[in-house]
Amino acid sequence: MHLYHTPWLFRKFYPKEVVWRMSAKKKILYLTFDDGPTTEITNWLLSTLDKYNARATFFCVGENVAKHPEIYDRLIEKGHAVGNHTYNHLNGWKTGIVDYAENVSKAKDLINSKLFRPPYGKIKRSQARLLNNLDYDIILWSVLTYDFDKKLDKKEAWKKIVKYSKPGSIIVFHDHVKAFENLKELLPKTLEYFQSKEFTFEKIIL
């Protein structure tokens, strides 16, 4: 079962410090890309976003930034936002608070941002409170595309993206090889469709 949007009841189990969506006052969507940068995907993403004059937010894994600093720099040069996605893509539910904080801090040495997204969307209340005390804004999502699922029904995914994307929605895609087959179909369709509906795509700024 795929939860393409985050139900209100589900959100109650998460810390109140988490951001699920942006302001709905204007027709703006917030595309986000997790897990990069990658040599295979990131440059394609930048070219595709450029075609639609779209800006996005890239939640980067520290070890990938260390491997590809020039691609990371290009994200910023192109006017996109970046966020911290831990150094080693840690699962917060399986990691102690000290180890988690140290891993986020290690990523911070490479990723200049106070935006943070927990890998897998999994973070304990204690971890969230600590990161908030360190002035991080914890960003989750309104719409999850499941582009990482190799068995994804792309037609169904597209219907759900259209159904659940509203002004202020934060939409998750992945800057990862395993997502590319789905990404290369769903992302251009998302950009073209919503632009035709007079939406714009902006990076997250808090």
Q: Band of the pLDDT at 172, cuts 50, 70, 90?
A: very high
CA distance 23 to 13: 22
Residue of 34, 35, 147, 175 marked catalytic: 34
34 is catalytic: yes
**174 a catalytic residue:** yes
Task: Calculate the average pLDDT of the chain.
Answer: 95
Q: Using omega within 30 degrees of 0 as the cis cutoff, is the peptide bond preceding 119 cis?
A: no
pLDDT the model gives residue 63: 98
Q: Per-residue pLDDT averaged across 184-198, rounded?
A: 98
Residue 133 has pLDDT above 70, yes or no: yes
Picking from 167, 158, 161, the residue whose alpha carbon sits closest to that of residue 200 is 167
What is the pLDDT at residue 2? 82
- Is the torsion defined by CA of 176, 180, 184, 189 positive or negative? negative
Taking the C-alpha atoms of residue 63 and residue 72, their distance in angstroms, rounded to an integer, is 11
Q: pLDDT grade, residue 197 (50/70/90)?
A: very high
Average pLDDT score over residue span 10-34: 88
In this prediction, residues 10-36 reach a mean pLDDT of 89
Annotated active-site residue in 80, 85, 174, 176: 174
Digit-coded pLDDT (tens) for 38-57: 999 999 999 999 999 999 99
Whole-number pLDDT of residue 7:
65
* CA–CA separation, 163 and 179 (whole Å): 21
Q: What is the pLDDT of residues 80-128, one digit of tens each?
A: 999 999 999 999 999 999 999 999 999 999 999 999 999 999 999 999 9
Per-residue pLDDT reduced to its tens digit, 137-162: 999 999 999 999 999 999 999 999 99
